[in-house]
Amino acid sequence: MTTLAHRRTSPLELNALINSAPRTPVHLSDEHRRSLSARFRAVASDTHRRIDAWMVEQAGKTSPGFRWSPATARRVLATGALRRCGRVTHVSMIDAVTDEIADQLARATSGFARRGSLGDWLSGLCASEIALVTAEAASWAAQNAEVAEWITSPWQVPTSDAYYDVARARTTLRGRRDLAVTLDEARVILRFRAGSPGKSAGPGLRSDLTIEALTHPEGLAPARIIGVWPEAGVCLSVEGTMDDLRSGARDLVRTAVVLRRLEGARAA
């Protein structure tokens, strides 16, 4: 049975949700990893595939040609800015975003940015366009920082998203995570999303939960994963139970199956 819960995003509700998370985390064993790997191997793929919660929510539909825009760039820049604000005191969100953009531009200038990367895209923009990207990222960062400041338990911005390479299955799983809250032995993961949660938001959260557990060196699942939709003022949460982890793994494998079918249909 799923533990999906729906709450309003208010300081009181969010802290209640975090503090009521179970304190004894579920553990994924090597046997679980082997079983998952076998299932992915059974779904052959001609190319290396990358699966994330978004693809699970879209039922395996691939994105129609990714391109950078202020909206697609804001998460990378805002997360970096939030992390920077945590490290350096008295730095404003706008300055932190500006520094993030400067880092990306420096990478592009020194030749370290790949073609099509964020740094490469930013390096081709004029001053007013850079200003709009800054405004968009700073607004996103400020909105997320506001929610983060409501949290009474210690939290930090993870250094990166969760990536898990499924052994011998030519598959990488990517789990998004924006904040990690520490509760004694357990941890709660928060994801910030734009818009309002759709019908498939639950499966998406469960996939992120499973990937987060897989990437933990000891296979410890987060006590709870919370998807926060600040624009809608709601949050959804899933507990790190074995049922939800299994459900998340099933959705990921199902997405791989759909991708395989689409690949086959394209080839035909």
Nearest approach, Cβ of 152 to another protein (angstroms)? 11
Cβ 117 to another protein, closest distance in Å? 17
- Binding of residue 128 to another protein (CB under 8 A): yes
What is the size of the binding site for another protein (CB under 8 A)?
39
Region 133-172 residues binding another protein, contact defined as CB under 8 A = 133-136, 138-139, 142-143, 145-146, 149-150
In terms of CB distance, is 4 or 135 closer to another protein? 135
Distances (CA, A) of 177 to 2, 114, 125, 174, 194: 21, 24, 28, 10, 14
Rounded least distance, CB 11 to another protein, Å: 7
Is there binding between residue 46 and another protein (CB under 8 A)? Answer: no
Q: Which stretch binds another protein (CB under 8 A): 58-66, 67-75, 164-172, 249-257?
A: 67-75
Give yes or no for a contact between 39 and 238, defined as CB atoms under 8 angstroms apart: no
Q: Examine residue 92 and tell whether it contacts another protein (CB under 8 A).
A: yes
DSSP helix, strand, coil percent of the chain (3-state; round to 5): 50, 15, 35
Neighbouring CB atoms inside 10 A of 9's CB total 18
Q: Does 76 bind another protein (CB under 8 A)?
A: no
**Torsion sign across C-alpha atoms 81, 173, 147, 218:** negative
Give the residues lining the site for another protein (CB under 8 A).
8-13, 69-71, 92-95, 125-129, 131-136, 138-139, 142-143, 145-146, 149-150, 194-196, 230-233
